[in-house]
């Protein structure tokens, strides 16, 4: 066997034994927020991830009997819009080795927008961290996958 053929054979054996580089963890699909009162559908939006509230445990305002609307934010992108269908996650990009970063999250209970990271955990949960400035000054919430897809509140 020629020297080049031997070198090529060794290279192929070594390269074949290396683990394949995994792509981004798939976190698209349904998630229940930390309170269990809201269902968020995370989807691909171009080359980033985004998500919207698409299920509510209590979709109607108890005072009016009508679908809940955002009344916390002063931002016209949110204020007065139905909570069902409200985009609350946007601009997440994959950051190796295991999380989605550079995104934003809207909290409809406070009316505030925060920087955010999404980190899938080994137990199948999703660590959703919202923060101001740096991640140290933030709060995490653990989201869980529902047992079955949730009924989309926009369909009703």
Q: How confident is the model at residue 6 (pLDDT cuts 50, 70, 90)?
A: very low
Lowest mean pLDDT among 72-76, 122-126, 135-139: 135-139
Q: Tell me the residue ranges of DSSP E strands in 33-155.
A: 38-45, 48-56, 87-95, 99-107, 112-120, 126-131, 138-143
Of the two residues 3 and 58, the one the predictor is more confident about is: 58
Residue 35 pLDDT: 95
More confident residue, 82 or 154: 82
What would the mean pLDDT of 1-10 be, rounded to a whole number? 48
The per-residue pLDDT for 21 is 47
* Res 5: pLDDT: 52
CA 155/CA 95 separation, integer angstroms: 34
For the stretch 96-135, pLDDT in tens is: 788 999 999 999 999 999 999 999 999 999 999 999 988 8
Mean pLDDT computed over every residue of the chain? 87
Of 3-7, 25-29, 62-66, the one with minimum mean pLDDT is 3-7
Residue 14 has pLDDT above 50, yes or no: no
Assign domain 28-58+84-155 to its CATH architecture: Beta Barrel (2.40)
Asked if residue 24 has pLDDT above 70, the reply is: yes
SS3 content of the chain, % helix, strand, coil (to 5): 10, 40, 45
- For 140-154, how does the pLDDT look when each residue is reduced to its tens digit (9 = 90+)? 999 999 999 999 998
Indicate the domain borders of the chain.
Answer: 28-58+84-155
Neighbours of 135 (CB within 10 A): 14
Rounded to two decimals, what is the model's pTM? 0.82
């Amino acid at each position: 066997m020629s020297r080049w053929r031997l070198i090529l054979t060794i290279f192929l054996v070594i390269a074949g034994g290396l683990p394949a580089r995994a792509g981004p963890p798939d976190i698209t699909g349904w998630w229940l927020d930390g309170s269990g009162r809201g269902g968020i559908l995370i989807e691909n939006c171009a080359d980033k991830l985004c998500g919207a509230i698409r299920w509510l445990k209590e979709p109607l305002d108890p005072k009016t009997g009508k679908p809940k609307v955002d009344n916390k934010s002063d931002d016209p992108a949110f204020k007065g819009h139905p909570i069902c269908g409200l985009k609350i996650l946007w601009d997440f990009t994959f950051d190796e080795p295991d999380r989605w970063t550079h995104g934003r999250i809207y909290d409809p209970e406070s009316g505030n927008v925060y920087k955010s990271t999404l980190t899938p955990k080994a137990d199948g949960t999703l660590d959703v961290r919202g923060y101001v400035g740096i991640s140290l000054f933030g709060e995490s919430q653990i989201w869980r996958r529902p047992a079955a897809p949730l009924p989309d509140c926009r369909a009703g």
